[in-house]
Structure 1
Amino acid sequence: MKGRNRIQWYSVILLAFCLTACQVKRPKDVLPDAKMENVLYDYHIAKAMGEETPYNESYKRLLYIESVFKKHGITKADFDSSMVWFARNPQILTKIYEKVNLRLKAERDGINHLIALRDHKPKESLPGDSIDVWIGQHICQLTGMPLDNKLTFTLPADTNFHDRDTLRWNVGFRFYNGTPDSLHAPLMAMQIKYENDSVINGMLKVKDAGIETISLFADTLGKIKEVRGFIYYPMQKVPQPLLIDRISLMRYHATDSIPSADRDSIRENAGKEESKKIERKPTAVKPVEIRKQGSDVNRRGNLRPRPTIQNTDKPVRQTER
């Protein structure tokens, strides 16, 4: 029995030794798999953008690639040495590229959707009231670096948009290292353009974490042509990512179920945003100078009304002296 137990223990030790020997040793300067996946994802997007630049702006290709390295806190030498090691271990690199390809495919589908929007062939929104018509991702992360500092959207209206619709854009903001100062605070803006070329805008600076909302409403401008918006995250003094989540773009018809108090607040906010576009300078009014002359002024200094003269056709009789 003891001999069998020893053989079993030797077998376990030998198997563990073989598994350890089969594991590939990775140098310290090689990027981890997860980080390499993120770098390769941004790297291929930057290369694709560089290939679309004109010949006289070829310098931008290097800037796109450098922005990727700067975003992930590595150098070109770190990337090149890591790629050499992954090329020698194709099994690991293949698994990484499988994940990268899935992400690139999702990005391509999103681009195709934007192209459809540009050509005014979007997927029609759902009918009814209180519908979320948001077409983009519901969560994303911005770093403030080039290629990663803005979220934009353009939504053409379809047959399910009605006159006097209210659009309410809700976005959740999460800061990792405290809220930025007002100079570096994110900027959130939305615009509704109508078929008669009228435009209403809403804009705010995000100074605190939480849900921010822009509501736009027009009572007499007619049919909506398109809805646009963006979130701009300036470069920070100390790099810190910004997480944007819980994104929704709610559409409410004029006969919706929003309480009257909420509807009044929406109209009031829309009116305030519209009034901000027009700044009226106060005109100087000169004081009227009143002079006191004889009996035209009573004791209190107020002007007495002049008696009205009635026109008559009867001749005026002359009185005898």
Structure 2
Amino acid sequence: MKGRNRIQWYNVALLAFCLTACQVKRPKDVLPDAKMENVLYDYHIAKAMGEEVPYNESYKRQLYIESVFKKQGITQAIFDSSMVWYARNPETFTKIYEKVNLRLKAERDGINHLIAMRDNKPKESLPGDSIDVWAWQHIYQLTGMPLNNKITFTLPSDSNFHDRDTLRWSVRFRFHNGAPDSAYAPTMAMQILYENDSIISSMQKVKKTGIETISLSGDSIGKIKEVRGFIYYPLQKVSKSLLTDRISLMRYHATDTLLNVKKDSIAEPQIKKDTVAATPAEVKKPDDEKTLRQEVRPRPRLRQSAN
């Protein structure tokens, strides 16, 4: 009996030793978790700034990245070797990126403001009933890797946004080596945040090459605060790059005259999801206010005669 117990304890000790020996040791040239978090945080800010520079100043993109390495006291080789090691240890890498994303979201508004000031972007969009308000690149290529798997935007409203505007985001998707399986298909999402904190949103999977569109509008929610959206391309089993182009974000003003009519008299038209508000040519306007009052006049009630 004692012999069996000794054998069992020996097996347990041997198993523990094997597990310890099989653990992946971190090389000396791999950055610690906290340091890697700081590097990735600065790296993504620098990369976002580089994407905003004009084509004739593209050399600045590499200067932004090099400034991150200089600030953090590392080299390109140390960063590359660290990225390779963390990619082979996805659990650790995921935890680091969760912290990085939280920091980026917390600083998003301030970063967008600084980028707008640096690039001297106009503070207001153009006026008009049908305007493309997309202010970023019109073509992106995603690979699904952690540093190149997402497109995000945040567009604050301005004085040219109206209460009942429709926002329509269109993107053409082109897959290399065929479209991915549904589980690995990219996700496209957009939401509108209103000043009263109401939110309307829509999300869809992109399963084939072609133009995909998300259309959102709020009939009576109030003033728009900002419009947000993203495209997320998950890591693929087999390398399949994704090209997105012909990107537009159209803003359509509501063109009907129903706001001048009491809601009790006539119901407001509802804009269905993924549709665009009617253009001026499609809306029949009355010749004058008198005609409008005649159109919405309630029917007279029939009086019942006394028996």
Distance 1:65 1:247 in 2: 35
Partner residue in 2 for 1:189: 189
Distance 2:212 2:113 in 1: 26
TM-score (structure 1 length as normaliser): 0.48
Partner residue in 1 for 2:272: 268
* Percent sequence identity over aligned pairs: 64
- The correspondence of residues 117-156 of structure 1 with structure 2, limited to 5 A, is 123-156=123-156
Partner residue in 2 for 1:36: none
Distance 2:155 2:77 in 1: 30
Compared CA separation, residues 41 and 206, structure 1 to 2 (3 A): farther
Deviation at residue 47 of structure 1 after TM alignment = 4.4
Partner residue in 1 for 2:172: 172
Runs of 4+ more than 4 Å apart: 40-53, 58-68, 111-114
Is 1:207–2:207 an aligned residue pair? yes
What is the total number of aligned residue pairs between the two structures?
Answer: 180
Compared CA separation, residues 52 and 252, structure 1 to 2 (3 A): farther
Contact 1:47 1:61 in 2 (8 A): no
CA deviation vs aligned residue, 1:219-255 (integer Å, no higher than 9, x gap): 0111100001010111111112110000000000011
Contact 1:113 1:122 in 2 (8 A): no
TM-score (structure 2 length as normaliser): 0.50
Distance 1:157 1:117 in 2: 17
Distance 2:113 2:222 in 1: 27
Q: CA RMSD in A?
A: 3.8
Contact 2:174 2:243 in 1 (8 A): yes
Distance 2:133 2:116 in 1: 16
Contact 1:133 1:248 in 2 (8 A): yes
Secondary structure at the counterpart of residue 116 of structure 1: helix
Contact 1:131 1:252 in 2 (8 A): yes
Deviation at residue 267 of structure 1 after TM alignment = 2.4
Gaps of 5+ in 1: 1-39, 72-110, 257-263, 272-321
Gaps of 5+ in 2: 1-58, 88-110, 257-268, 276-307
Compared CA separation, residues 65 and 230, structure 1 to 2 (3 A): farther
- The correspondence of residues 153-302 of structure 1 with structure 2, limited to 5 A, is 153-255=153-255, 267-269=271-273
Contact 2:178 2:240 in 1 (8 A): no
Is 1:115–2:119 an aligned residue pair? no
